[in-house]
Amino acid sequence: MKGLAGQDERILRSHCRICHGGCGVLVYVKEGRVVKIEGDPQCPISRGTLCPKGIASLQLVYHPDRLLYPLKRKGPKGGGQWERISWEEAYDLLVSKINEYKNGYGAESIVLGYGTGRDNEAFIYRFANLLGTPNVLTAGHMCYGPRVSTSIITCGNLPVCDYEGNPKCIMVWGNNAIISNPDEYKGLYLSDALAKGAKLIVVDPRFTKLADRSDLWLQLRPGTDVALALGMLHVIMEEELYDKEFVSNWIYGWNEFVDRVKEYPPWRVSEITWVPEEKIREAARLFAKAKPACIQWGVAIEQSINCVDNNRSLIALAAVTGNLDVPGGMVFYVPPPVMNASQFGLHQLLPPEQRKKRLGREVFKLADAFAIINPRFVWEAILYEKPYPVKMVFLISSNPVMTRANASMVYEALKKVAFLVVSDFFLTPTAEMADLVLPSATWLEMDYVAEIWKRHGFALARQKVIQVGECKSDHEMLLELGNRLGQKEHWWPTLREALNAILAPSGLTFEAFLEIGHLQGKMEYRKYLKKGFSTPTRKVELYSTRMKEWGYDPLPKFREPPESPISRPDLVKDYPYILITGMRPTAFFHSEHRQIPWLRELLPEPLVEIHPETAEKEGIKEGDWVVIESPRGRCYQRAKLTLGIDPRVIGAQHAWWFPEKEAPEHGWKESNINLLTDNDPSTCDPAMGATNLRVLMCRVSPKKE
């Protein structure tokens, strides 16, 4: 093995999970302590590289503020007073509360929840389904879930850039894949593909390093992605740049789709998107003519009222240019021979009468079909007990006070809910309001068959390297709790046996799996030639039969963002700028890591990007604290003046709290951009319920002391 093992040092191989995970690592352990974390050169995903967060896991595990044992609230809710209890007491309390609410109000009154998830999704869904609650509160309505669900109804599976197949052109759409995890593959693959000479188109309202490296940068008006994609499709049709054979054999609803696209001529799209007509044409030609080509997409386009149609129009771009499931295009990876997260989740065991009680299911039908809910309905069920009361919220790796829209409402709801349990690493602003806090294990403290929810073709071996305090992995905790709640027949006595069951189709035990390090499905391209696409019509449904069934527009279209200078001219006087909230720093993963010294040093304070002209107009200087205000609230971030943003747009960071500031608030109201966002269902994607976090109206001014 690479590396320099010191005296008495052991090197263990595992897979990082400081973000959405998947990078192979070598962990150096000395006398039961992790002393170093390095990239594993043998890992096919990260090939020896590792990001700052992965390395800083060292400071996460041994952080002095880490939760080391279960805590029970003492004194008033949110009063910052805690009593240490044993795991035995914690389990007893959980069992009694769960039974109390299940018997008194129905299992649906108990909401399970996770944020972006710490690879615990499969266990959480299994637990919830066995408990009989249809309510699992995730980020799935606005992050990754839409990509998966939209892809499944449109082309049967999630298409992913096949970097190893040497794409000639990569279109990066609202995704800074280099510094934030693009879920299936890491930025390394994109970087390598560019080094090999792939052309690059970047669609982003901000000038990122990717934009700097690009052949074409399309700086669009935030929230108009679907119009831009349909405009490019218009050019592709007009100039007959599409793959005629693929279109005639494999597209369902081509004529209807063409009619829809005709509504988006480049001149009109240019007016909508601010992108010059010639650039739209140029991008369309470059993408359509380079074969193979792929689209690297991400969460940015999903946190929008146009969520599903953004995804559908990008799938359409890949499909009509003949880039689906071909080498170097957008492919459907073949899963490895293990149980996947969805199978493990036992969705079929949720009783149909309970499924019918899923919050918001009548409103957001695509989300419901994928067991996903919109958070607003949970907050309302707590606050107004409609359509029924939610009594218990059990959050496992989630900090919604920082990361969900309308933070004030989230805070009120969590303050009111009868019993709040939080499993996490630290007392976050959310955990501070809990009745019971569980100390969660980090990736260095758990065994798992990792990343089996991703559609990247891998299962990765994560191994427990150390034990810290009394911390337990969420998997182990849920397995134990499930057993105690009478779900025994569907669980295993030990986590090790559960992992062996996940691995059973491969014939491996967990021990043997650790030796190998990972399993990969054997890739096959153009699988549709044999069996078509996994959709009702066996074709790529650019006209979606499922969407039609649910009563939605079967074709993608552009909706003006609910709060923009065009949809709300009445607000322009008071809120003259468009606010975007997606700027991702390299140091943090959503609300995490601000207490880690090495990472905080990289970015000590929240930054808001402002064009110098705008700053001058508003009397703001570089480094000033700025008040950012929307019609709903305000927060403060430091001004970073940059030419890389349109003068009409303000770019803020999200999820900022200050662990070092006084408990229990930890300054959660100071820089929290979600005090400005809206979660009204009418502003969400009509089918998926994706929250519009990304496009608001705002004003900015220097903060007065």
Partner 1 sequence: MKRREDFVTKKLALLIDEDLCWGCDACELACKQENHLSEGSRWIQVRTKGVQRVNGKLKLVYSPARCLQCSHPPCQEVCPVDAITQRPDGIVLIDYNGCIGCKKCIEACPFGVMQFNQEKGVAEKCHLCYHRIDQGLKPACVDVCIGRCIYFGEMTELVNRYGERRWLSGRNGNEKRTSL
Question: What is residue 47's three-state secondary structure?
Answer: coil
If the CB atoms of residues 387 and 604 are measured against partner 1, the closer one turns out to be 604
Q: Which two tokens stand for residue 180?
A: 């934030």
For partner 1, give the closer residue by CB, 38 or 476: 38
CA dist., res. 480 & res. 487, Å (int)? 10
CB of 7 to partner 1, least distance (A): 13
Pick the closer one to partner 1 by CB: 143 or 178: 178
179 near partner 1 (CB under 8 A) = yes
Q: Name residues contacting partner 1, limited to 230-249 (CB under 8 A).
A: none
Closest to partner 1 by CB, 161 or 436: 161
Q: Please, which of residues 210-229 interact with partner 1 by CB under 8 A?
A: 211-213
Q: Rule CB under 8 A: choose which of 274, 525, 550, 598 binds partner 1.
A: 598
| Residue 393 parent element (H or E) | strand 392-396
Cα angle value 451/454/458 (rounded, 5°): 65
36 binds partner 1 per the rule CB under 8 A? yes
Please tell me whether residue 37 binds partner 1 under the rule CB under 8 A.
yes
Contact 201, 216 (CB under 8 A): yes
* Nearest distance from C-beta of residue 489 to partner 1, angstroms: 46
Q: Can residue 42 be called a binding residue for partner 1 (CB under 8 A)?
A: no
Task: Select from 50, 236, 237, 697 the one that contacts partner 1 (CB under 8 A).
Answer: 50
Do 133 and 98 contact (CB within 8 A), yes or no?
no
- Smallest gap, in angstroms, from Cβ of residue 602 to partner 1? 5
- Read off the tokens for 664: 């229990």
- From the list 32-40, 157-165, 250-258, 288-296, the region that binds partner 1 by CB under 8 A is 32-40
Is residue 165 near partner 1 by the rule CB under 8 A? no
Please provide the DSSP assignment of 281-342 as one string. Answer: HHHHHHHHHSSSEEEEE-GGGTSSTTHHHHHHHHHHHHHHTT-BTSTTSEE-PPPPSS--HH
Q: Which amino acid is at 126?
A: R
- Asked if 587 interacts with partner 1 (CB under 8 A), we say yes
Q: Is 70 left (phi over 0), alpha (psi -120 to 50) or beta?
A: beta
Q: Minimum distance from CB of 26 to partner 1 (Å)?
A: 11
- Pick between residue 2 and residue 526 the one whose CB is nearest to partner 1: 2
Residues 6+ apart with CB under 8 A from 342: 122, 453
Q: Minimal distance in Å, beta carbon 649 to partner 1?
A: 14
- Interacting stretch for partner 1, rule CB under 8 A, among 55-63, 137-145, 405-413, 662-670? 55-63
Sheet holding 110-113, edge to edge: 82-84, 71-73, 436-439, 419-424, 392-396, 110-113, 136-137
Kindly tell me which residue out of 7, 103, 597, 662 binds partner 1, with binding defined by CB under 8 A: 597
Of 213 and 538, the one with the shorter C-beta distance to partner 1 is: 213
Among 22, 24, 39, 400, binds partner 1 (CB under 8 A): 39
Sole window of 37-45, 123-131, 276-284, 332-340 interacting with partner 1 (rule: CB under 8 A)? 37-45
| Minimum distance of partner 1 from residue 13's CB (angstroms) | 16
Nearer to partner 1, 55 or 684 (CB): 55
Q: Give whichever of 209 and 621 is closer to partner 1, judged by the CB atom.
A: 209
> Taking a C-beta distance cutoff of 8 angstroms, is the pair 142, 690 a contact?
yes
Least distance (Å) between residue 698 CB and partner 1: 21
State the helix-helix crossing angle for 474-484 and 121-131, rounded to 10 degrees: 20
Whose tokens are 């549709």? That residue is: 528
Give yes or no for residue 701 binding partner 1 (CB under 8 A). Answer: no
| Residue 38 binds partner 1, judged by CB under 8 A | yes
Cis, peptide link before residue 664, omega less than 30° from 0:
yes
| From 96-104, 184-192, 324-332, 341-349, span contacting partner 1 (CB under 8 A) | 184-192
Among 65, 353, 511, 601, indicate the residue that binds partner 1 (CB under 8 A). Answer: 601
**Is residue 178 involved in binding partner 1 (CB under 8 A)?**
yes
Which tokens hold the place of 220?
């669009």
Kindly tell me which of 55 and 413 has the beta carbon lying closer to partner 1.
Answer: 55
Residue 142 in contact with partner 1, rule: CB under 8 A? no
Q: Which is nearer to partner 1, 117 or 187 (CB)?
A: 187
Is position 661 an interface residue for partner 1 (rule: CB under 8 A)? no
- Is residue 169 a contact residue for partner 1 (CB under 8 A)? no
Q: Which residues, 6 or more positions from 36, have their beta carbon under 8 angstroms from its beta carbon?
A: 27, 28, 58
Of the residues 29, 51, 237, 578, which one makes contact with partner 1 according to CB under 8 A: 51
Q: How far is the CB of 139 from partner 1 (least distance, A)?
A: 24
64 belongs to the binding site for partner 1 (CB under 8 A):
no
Instruction: Based on the shown chain and the rule CB under 8 A, indicate whether residue 166 belongs to the binding site for partner 1.
Output: no
Amino acid identity at 153: I
- Partners of 650 in the β-ladder: 579
Quick one: which of 602, 584, 662, 447 has its CA closest to 59? 602
- Looking at 53-61, 264-272, 458-466, 521-529, which segment touches partner 1 (CB under 8 A)? 53-61
Footprint (CB under 8 A) of partner 1, residues 613-652:
640-644
Question: d(Cα 140, Cα 127) in Å, to the nearest integer?
Answer: 17
Structure tokens belonging to residue 128: 């919830």
Which residue, 396 or 583, is less far from partner 1 as judged by CB? Answer: 583
**Distance (Å, rounded) from C-alpha 367 to C-alpha 438?**
29
Buried b (16+ CB within 10 A) or exposed e, 221-258: bbbbbbbbbbbbbbbbbeeebbbeebbeebbbbbeebb
Q: How many Cα atoms within 13 Å fall on the side-chain side of residue 682?
A: 2
- Label residues 36-64 b or e (16+ Cβ within 10 Å = b): bbbbbeebebbbbbbbbbbbbbbebbebe
Cβ at position 564, least distance to partner 1 in Å: 25
What minimum distance in Å lies between the beta carbon of 166 and partner 1?
A: 17
Binding site for partner 1 (CB under 8 A): 2-4, 36-39, 41, 48-52, 55-56, 58, 178-179, 186-188, 191-192, 195, 207-209, 211-213, 586-587, 597-599, 601-602, 640-644
